[in-house]
Chain A
């Protein structure tokens, strides 16, 4: 049976539905975000793990020049190694029908002993390779799909300098290649960068690698030390041109994916906390108001013999309903969004399956915590009212006490209009509440700034990359080092205006116990098409001697300008030489080194070999140039600047729009929740006052100014404060966000300020309209009869 008290609570909930809905929305957003990010995080982690396990993804990777297959047994014998396999891996240029420029792919040999295969492929279409088939290939599914290649089709590829026509028999994905991109490039370009799997025998034949391998993949026993195994693998492979073994964390695909999943966890904590804080504030002010309008009711209840506790529980019921309502909304919306987004991620990363799981235990805990916090907030509001003796509570409250305050002491009161004074004194009297409300609006503004600021950062980074650093139209890379004369061949290709050669060498930089695998690229003094540029857009100069390196790398290696480090060259004579660091440059992408061509020649004991060229083109010659490049076996790949820029925009800008939309919704909910609740409560507290003003002959518009003036004033303080908070937050994020692939460049445009401010103002305007409707309905006569 429904008790009278429950009935009373239910009716009051219906009466206060507007405010309650706003609070439920805020709580719903918080819990929804939590459920969404948490379930996504759990599911994606689980999916990643399952995918890795099913595909027997290796734990340790080692590249080398060439070793006989018997060496694999030595690797397998290392303590902690469960399985070791050898394979042949190479970069190849691919001619895809319909694609103007040549594509590049990683060619991976696949053992015919299927049961033994680590990094197993997952077939998406077609069939597996026949053992020993020399012209069959399985393509990386996203690469095949974006290029319209299906089983039965053909592609041409340069295998070890010779063009080969290959039949596509299937498309596949692999845990090793969740993300495929060119190292040093920021974009996913699935049309131009791919993976090809071929039968082991065919690859070995093409590359003269019979009975040998150039890539080892190793799976460890649980609990084995990755570090120890790597060290021992290095010891074995050193004489075979080993590049140094690394764990999964150095694998681009794994790292990228794990970083992305880890980011979800941050969202899962920070955003719900913000919402919860806002919700508790709103609940507290709404309940404080509800209780103060019900002083007499409380007194009557007490006179009837209801105890303090049961009355307290009654009002706390409001908070419970809000949290439960928010939980239902949050869990449902979060669950739906979680599945939707996890599915999007699954499709984006091409996981073969999605293991969706709701982490109910953590979700339950968060709901309980929200409940606890809300109840605490509610009790604080109810405490004073239930403490009053019934006789006191039945008397009307004394007129709200206003006394001379700051305004009077400052002597400005006399010069202000009474309406302005009403607004200012109300704020002054409820300084704490007004401050908290103002801070919450500022927070919403700051969140907006944060959402929009990533566009500024991306714009800035694009500007530095594409306007300052990269002036070439096309970057051509060769399949192996060529003599310096090769640049003349490039210059004679169709439409070339200018071509500048470069040499890239793979190295390991060693400073004490700190090591880093990377590349060193040559930079000529008169090089114009590609410049080394720092985050501020300044050009770095590469002196004739010594090594220039990314500042991030110098920090990672714990060395600075003036130090000498060891460079182990991973090609040619494989020397280890000592080189002084002559400068560092604050680049935002990658972690690499630069040398003058002369210094590099000395390092390599070579006469000016080159591995690629930057090319400046006549504007209409790109097509013929790319056709020629495709026909040139020495060309491993081409990177067209305009295409790179476009694909960057396609992928990142679209993702950022999604993120921004989400952030705008979140901050609008906060701003709306705070402004609407504050205005509604002000309307309830000051209904008599406002009706009196109407009776005195003020128009609705004039009293709207009195009511909303407070909110507008708070907003006017909150917006600049929020922008300042957002600015500081952005600065902090730029400083804190640092990966090996990317550092952020600080940028902050007036657009960001404009969008944040105008969004908050728009929310304010909508809220004002809603509240204005209430003003319209003020019952003037009823107000005169009430004593309050």
Chain B
């Protein structure tokens, strides 16, 4: 995490982004003329129903995909037409991902899953420290099959933050979890945002989660239809759905 950045430094700048998928003979407009700026240290929640384009937006931010038109600048660098190896290097150094289905490696223990990332990062934290941050230092030698869903998701978070990424991207991190566990996971994300001053973009279809954000984007049919900052920023434990 680039703690030396001044708060408010622009990390991402997206201009007039469109994304068209060709599915068989049909063109699907996943994003239509979206423009967005993300600055350091903010917790951004992107809200939308399924098919609204929020995941596509996140994928482009995270270097998993490139837009069909428009431009993406990451810290002033043009990523619009980046090739695969540039995107790989970008993901490796700068992005932490958390997914709905955890995507942790079943053959590795919790700490080994974290080491997987710290092994290839430039200035990683100690894997134990990352697990401590998500409250799993006691479970570090457990395999995924021996962990609950919430614990697995926290391992995924630890793995995402251990490399000290520029930005933490969370795609429906509570989508597969029950309420209590979901709150616990959101609490970890919030704490990391607070303690490490991390930039977080979190997408969800759950409107209640929007209340923990610094800024909320609402998406529908591939467009940003509303943008606002919640009047009262709530802790995850105060959220309910």
Among A419, A426, A700, contact of B116 (Cβ-Cβ < 8 Å): A419
User: Inside 8 A of B141's CB, which chain A residues have their CB?
Assistant: 404
Q: Which of A378-404 contact B (CB under 8 A)?
A: 398-404
The answer for the CA separation of A688 and B229 in the assembled complex, in Å, is 36
Determine whether A148 belongs to the interface, using a CB cutoff of 8 Å to chain B. no
Of residues 96 through 150 on chain B, the ones whose CB sits less than 8 Å from some CB of chain A are 97, 99-101, 103-108, 112-113, 115-117, 119-120, 141, 143-146
Range of interface residues on chain B?
35 or more
Of A401, A403, A419, A694, which is within 8 A of B88 by CB? A694
The answer to whether A402 touches B88 (Cβ under 8 A) is no
Find chain A residues with CB under 8 A from B171 CB.
Answer: 784
Known A695-B97, A697-B93, A781-B64: A426·B85 in contact at CB below 8 Å: no
A696 interface neighbour in B89, B92, B144, Cβ under 8 Å = B92
A284 to B89, CA, bound (A): 40
**Nearest residue in A to B121 (C-beta to C-beta)?**
A697
Question: B145's closest neighbor in chain A, by CB?
Answer: A401
- Provided the pairs A696-B91, A696-B92, A784-B171 are in contact, do residues A402 and B143 lie with their beta carbons within 8 angstroms? yes
Inter-chain CA distance A768–B82, complex, in Å, is 27
Complex Cα distance A689/B99, Å? 13
- In the complex, the answer to whether B115 meets A418 with C-beta atoms within 8 Å is yes
B-contact 0/1 string along A409-448, CB 8 Å cutoff: 0000100011101100110010000000000000000000
Q: Which of A697, A699, A700, A784 contacts B99 (CB 8 A)?
A: A784
> In the bound complex, how far is the Cα of B201 from the Cα of A212, in angstroms?
113
The chain B residue sitting closest to A697, CB to CB, is B92
A398 to B100, CA, bound (A): 16
Q: Which residues of A contact B84 (CB under 8 A)?
A: 700
Are the C-beta atoms of B107 and A697 separated by less than 8 Å?
no
Q: Are B145 and A697 in contact (CB under 8 A)?
A: no
Could you mark each residue 766-788 of chain A with 1 if its beta carbon is under 8 Å from any beta carbon of chain B, else 0? 00000000000000110010110
B164 interface residue (CB < 8 Å to A): no
B215 lies within 8 A of chain A by Cβ: no
The size class of the interface chain A forms with chain B is: 20 to 34
A697 to B163, CA, bound (A): 11
A425 and B84 alpha carbons, distance in the complex (Å): 30
Determine which residue in A400, A697, A698, A702 has the highest number of CB atoms from chain B within 10 A of its CB, and name it: A697
Residues on the B chain within 8 Å of A697, using CB: 88-93, 95, 117, 120
Provided the pairs A402-B145, A418-B113 are in contact, do residues A695 and B103 lie with their beta carbons within 8 angstroms?
yes
If A400-B145, A700-B84 are given as contacts, then 12 extra A-B residue pairs at C-beta distance below 8 Å, sorted by A number, are: A413-B112, A418-B115, A421-B108, A421-B112, A422-B107, A689-B106, A692-B103, A693-B116, A697-B92, A699-B85, A780-B64, A787-B101
Is B65 interfacial (CB-CB < 8 Å)?
yes
- The answer to the question of B59 belonging to the interface, with a C-beta cut-off of 8 Å to chain A, is yes
How many residue pairs bridge A and B at CB < 8 Å? 93
Bound Cα distance A73, B89 (Å): 100
8 contacts between A and B (CB under 8 A): A400-B145, A402-B107, A402-B143, A417-B115, A421-B112, A425-B108, A695-B62, A784-B171
Interface: B159 (CB within 8 A): yes
Given A398-B145, A421-B112, A781-B59: A696 in contact with B107 (beta carbons within 8 A): no
Contact B106 A784 (CB under 8 A): no
Q: Most chain-B Cβ atoms within 10 A of its Cβ — which of A421, A695, A787? A: A695
The reply to whether B92 and A698 contact each other, CB–CB distance below 8 Å, is yes
Interface string of B6-48 (1 = CB under 8 A from A): 0000000000000000000000000000000000000000000
B-to-A contact residues, CB < 8 Å: 59, 62, 64-65, 84-85, 88-93, 95, 97, 99-101, 103-108, 112-113, 115-117, 119-120, 141, 143-146, 159, 171
Residues of A679-706 at the interface with B, using a CB-CB cut-off of 8 Å, are 688-689, 692-700, 702
Q: A697-B89, A781-B65 are in contact. Are A399 and B107 (CB under 8 A)?
A: no
Q: Which residues of A contact B112 (CB under 8 A)?
A: 413, 418, 421
Chain A residues with Cβ below 8 Å from B65 are 781
Residues of B within 8 A of A421 (CB): 107-108, 112
B145 touches A403 (CB 8 A): yes
Distance to closest chain B CB from A296 (angstroms): 15
Residues from chain B with Cβ under 8 Å of A699 in the complex: 85, 88
3 closest pairs, A vs B, by CB?
A697-B92, A692-B103, A697-B91
Question: How far in angstroms is the closest Cβ of chain B from A159?
Answer: 86
Query: A303 CB to closest chain B CB, in angstroms?
Result: 24
On whether the beta carbons of A425 and B107 are closer than 8 Å, the reply is yes
Distance, CA A490 to CA B106, complexed state (A): 86
Q: How far is the CA of A399 from the CA of B59 in the complex (A)?
A: 25
CB-based contact B93/A429 at 8 Å: no
Assuming A697-B92, A781-B65, is B105 touching A692 (CB within 8 A)?
Answer: yes
Q: How far is the CB of B112 from chain A (nearest CB, A)?
A: 5
What are the residues of chain B within 8 A of A786 when measuring CB–CB? 101
Contact partner, B107, options A400, A700, A784, Cβ 8 Å: A400
* CB closest residue in chain A, given B143: A402
The residues of B that contact A404 with a CB separation of less than 8 Å are 141, 143
A492 to chain B, nearest CB (A): 85
> How far does the Cβ of B22 sit from chain A's closest Cβ, in whole Å?
14
What CA separation (Å) do A698 and B105 show in the bound complex?
Answer: 14
A702 to B89 alpha-carbon distance, docked (Å) = 13
Residue of B nearest to A783 (CB): B103
Cα(A696)–Cα(B88), bound, Å: 8
Q: Are A426 and B107 in contact (CB-based, < 8 A)?
A: yes
Interfacial chain A residues near B116, Cβ < 8 Å: 418-419, 693, 696
User: Of all chain A residues, which has the CB nearest B106?
Assistant: A400
User: For the complex, what is the distance from the CA of A402 to the CA of B90, rounded to whole Å?
Assistant: 31
Chain B residues with CB below 8 A from A401, complex form:
106, 143, 145
Partner of B145, one of A399, A693, A700, A787: A399
B59 CB contacts on chain A under 8 angstroms: 781
Min CB–CB distance A692 → chain B (angstroms): 4
For A784, the chain B residues whose CB sits under 8 A away are: 99-101, 103, 171
User: What A residues does B95 contact at CB under 8 A?
Assistant: 697
Known: A398-B145, A418-B116. A695 touches B106 (CB 8 A): no
Measured CB to CB, the closest approach of chain A to B154, in angstroms, equals: 15
Shortest Cβ distance from A786 into B: residue: B101
Question: How far apart sit A697 and B145, CA to CA, in the bound complex (Å)?
Answer: 24
- Tell me, rounded to whole Å, the shortest Cβ–Cβ distance linking A687 to chain B: 11
- Taken together as a complex, chains A and B put the C-alpha atoms of A349 and B151 apart, in Å, by 77
Quick check: B101 and A695 within 8 Å, CB to CB? no
Q: Which of B59, B104, B105 has the most CB of A within 10 A?
A: B105
Q: How far is the CA of A780 from the CA of B99 in the complex (A)?
A: 12
Which of B62, B64, B119, B144 lies in contact with A399, CB distance below 8 A?
B144
User: Which A residues touch B120, using CB under 8 A?
Assistant: 697-698, 702
Give the docked Cα–Cα distance between A421 and B116 (Å). Answer: 10
Q: Which residues of B contact A418 (CB under 8 A)?
A: 105, 108, 112-113, 115-116, 119
B145 adjacent to A695 (CB under 8 Å): no
Complex CA distance for A419 and B120, rounded to whole angstroms: 11
Are B119 and A417 interface neighbours, CB within 8 A? yes
- Contact residues in A for B85 (Cβ distance below 8 Å): 699
Residue numbers in B under 8 Å from A422 (CB-CB): 105, 107-108
Which residue of A has the minimal Cβ distance to B107? A425
In contact, A695 and B144 (Cβ under 8 angstroms): no
Minimal beta-carbon separation of B26 from chain A (angstroms): 17
- List the A side residues contacting B143 at CB < 8 Å: 401-404
The CA-CA distance from A693 to B106 in the complex, in Å, is 12
Cα–Cα distance between A689 and B59 once the two chains are bound (Å): 18
Most buried by A among B84, B92, B115, B159: B92
Docked Cα-Cα span, A401 to B106, in Å, equals 7
Docked CA distance A278–B108 (Å):
31
Residues of B within 8 A of A696 (CB): 91-92, 97, 116-117, 159
A688 to B107, CA, bound (A): 13
Rounded to whole angstroms, the CA-CA distance of A692 and B144 in the bound complex is 15
Max chain B C-beta neighbours (<10 A), residue from A398, A418, A694, A787: A418
Instruction: Give A688 to B90 CA distance when docked, in angstroms.
Output: 21
Do the beta carbons of B88 and A399 come within 8 Å of each other? Answer: no
CB distance from A786 to the nearest CB of B (A): 8
Least distance between B17 CB and chain A CB atoms (Å):
16
